[in-house]
Amino acid sequence: MADEQSRVQTVVIKGSTGRVTGSGFMLTPNLVLTCAHVVADALGTAPSGDRPRGEVQVRLPALLTDLRAEVMAGGWLPLGDDRQGDLAVLSLLAPAAQSVPAPRMDRPRAGAAVHLYGYDQQVGLRRWNGVVRHTPAAGSVAWTRLEFTHREPRPGVSGGPVIDSDTGAVVGMLLAAGRDDDAGAVGWMLPVRDALDHVPVRRPRGDRRGLTAREAGVLAESLTEALVPAGPGAVDLLVRLVPPAIAGAMPRSPVPRVQLMMLVMTCARHANGLRALTAALETLVPGSVELESFTTLVDKLTAQPLLLPAERLALHELLARAADPTRERPGLGDVAALVDRAVELEDAPVTEGEPPPLLTFVSGVAERAAPTTHSPLLLWVRDVARRLGIDVPRGGAEPKRHSGPVVLKFTLTEAGWEPGRYEAFARLLPDPDGDPVPLGGSDGPIPLTAVRDLVQDTLQDATRRLGGDRDRLRVEFELPRRLLELDVESWPADGAAEGRSIGMLHPVTVRVGRKSGDAEPGWRERWRRLGTQRDRSPSTWLEGSGRRVLCVDPSGEMEPSAPRPLDAALAAGVTVALWSRTGDAEIEARIEELVAHTDLAALPEAVLALRRESVAAWADNIVLLYDDPRSSAPEPPLLDPFPAS
């Protein structure tokens, strides 16, 4: 499980010019872990200095996305002279849509086999295998030594996640690699579980109150500056000055700046806790400029916000999905522009009798968004309006219904090194002008039984994204040639239709897996011509090995009695074909009649209707090869198998 997630989560860190300085990995949809020296290199600062200001670029290769990020306040553990530290927590200025939180963290085990993902500047994202040679004491941020199985990682890999191959847990982050005369390829990693205790970025499980980690980090930095005039011991003294109920509930840390983070976050979870902290600080540094700055920050952060933290995060994720950097949809720009506007409008004044400007803005974005994002945005507006006890802004009452099918596409590729196992990936393709929405995939090569379970879970997710509008969903399987006759139509659908197959609920098509959308000359032009019924050539049955395949609009030289009729059809360039698994004469007669009287665009839905006519006779026995280029894989692919070391 961790194997696939780590590939998807591994990111590339770049400077403003696009130069790659290292790798990193997702901690949450908003936060990225990487090395302090990687960020410093991107910004041209010292890795051992104070938290740098400025933006870096974070590239998500699995989603083909670049996002802006900055080092989060409180999220900087600088590189020490004694091989300690070297960690930075980057806060994305817009959340990474469709990303999944990183696997669980754990401490490294001496002698454990591990593997690493990072960005090799010569070949891109890559995997290395190794062994943990020793482990530091619990709570330490000292570097841990690794030995690699073959060769050491090259520049660009620093910041990549190191994963325990047995447990799947992230146990470290690569810092450096090189050669050792005795051990060969070696490296050093930072134990991330213990390192994160020195940059507390995670809110306690289940806690929906208080500040975000970013807000707490800003306050803690301001508090640190305010305490400088008070001299050594000021942190302990400040803790003694806050109310006992707060001091008693606060976790303790020997690191002063971490203790201040704990203090700020604990105060924020108590009624008037930040006000009490301000009063305690005034006792230590009365009348200082730093005290005034801290008080101003507290006033800003304790004002009643329009949105709850969970609502704000959900909105930013939806805006990331709605963004349209190509400007094909008027009024939708890049992710940063949409999120910046939302942040600005959240604090905008509200006119009496009018909805908050933010809700009106989000309703407008929904009207221009692709179908898969339109409905969730309007449902978000409705839910927030209900909580606030106000009317839903005009145009935002109910999601609108779009015509046209939405394609749920499953792509299977063979794992040549593991026969009988496959890499699987799913994405949702809205209307032809919409961008594909990745829905995840398998956790490494899996057997077909696991692929079937993945399909069932993803169907449920896709139906939810369409607001329950199941009838619009067309299911497509892009398969290796040897699997084209796999009975995917008979696989179970989601739990809402227990006991019924996918082929009875949705139009189901299969297509040949291809590396390039134009692998066959004239493929797209041929498809456009096929769309006109009167220009279509007569359909032809191919026979061989006891199988008959009806080829729609055949072209080229075709062997009428080939040993493998489907292979002969594909070799001749046929892009649409139908056949019956059972070879029943009645079914084949109905297939021929259906093709003669059905437009190409309506063929998948017509086959669905035919399946439903007689469930017992032919429900899951009709296969439709439908190689529609409009749902072909984008270039480059959203997810490629990584070369192993």
Phi, psi for 424 (deg, rounded to 5) = -125, 140
Q: Which residues contact 423 (CB under 8 A, 6 or more apart)?
A: 412, 413, 414, 415, 441, 442, 444, 445, 446, 639, 641
CATH pick for 1-202 out of 3.60.20.10, 2.40.10.120, 1.10.10.10, 1.10.287.40? 2.40.10.120
Q: 323-361 burial, b for 16+ CB within 10 Å, e for fewer?
A: bbeeeebeebebbbebbebbeebbeeeeeeeebbbbbbb
Name the band, by pLDDT with cuts 50, 70 and 90, for residue 402: very low
Q: How far apart are CA 309 and CA 262, in angstroms?
A: 19
Q: SS3 string of 178-238?
A: EEECCCEEEEEEECHHHHHCCCCCCCCCCCCCCCCHHHHHHHHHHHHHHHHHHCCCHHHHH
pTM of the model: 0.50
Q: In whole angstroms, give the CA distance from residue 583 to residue 590.
A: 12
* H or E element at residue 24: strand 20-26
Q: Tell me the residue type at 545.
A: S
Peptide bond into 200 cis (omega under 30): no
Count of Cβ atoms closer than 10 Å to residue 248 Cβ:
9
Percent of the chain with pLDDT over 70: 76
Each residue's pLDDT tens digit, 73-116: 878 888 777 677 888 999 887 766 555 555 678 889 889 999 88
Contact status, residue 200 vs residue 142, Cβ threshold 8 Å: no
Band the pLDDT of 517: cuts 50, 70, 90.
very low
pLDDT > 90: what percent of the chain? 8
Mean pLDDT of 160-181: 86
Range with lowest mean pLDDT among 97-101, 506-510, 586-590: 97-101
Task: Tell me if residue 317 falls in helix, strand or coil.
Answer: helix
- For 449-494, the pLDDT digits (tens) are 889 888 988 888 888 777 666 777 889 998 888 888 888 888 888 6
Question: 334: which 2 tokens?
Answer: 């890049």
Confidence of residue 37 (pLDDT cuts 50, 70, 90): very high
Mean pLDDT of the chain: 77
Q: Which pLDDT does position 56 carry in this prediction?
A: 94
Angle between helices 309-322 and 357-368 (to 10 degrees): 30
Each residue of 212-243: b (16+ CB within 10 Å) or e?
bbbbbbbbbbbbbebbeebeeebbeebbebbe
Residue 634: the pLDDT is: 41
The DSSP secondary structure of 534-592, one letter per residue, reads GGPPPPEEEEETTEEEEESS--S---TT-SSHHHHHHHTT--EEEEESS--HHHHHHHH
Maximum average pLDDT range among 94-98, 237-241, 267-271: 237-241
What are 114-155's pLDDT values in tens digits? 988 877 766 667 788 899 988 877 766 678 888 887 776 777
Which amino acid appears at position 45 of this protein? T
Give the confidence band of 372 by pLDDT, cuts at 50, 70, 90: low
Structural contact between residues 447 and 482, judged by C-beta atoms closer than 8 angstroms = no
Amino acid 437: pLDDT: 75
10 Å CB burial of residue 292 (0-12, 13-18, 19+) is: exposed
- Is-contact 161 175, C-beta < 8 A? no
Interstrand relation of 170-180 and 184-190 (parallel, antiparallel or unpaired): antiparallel
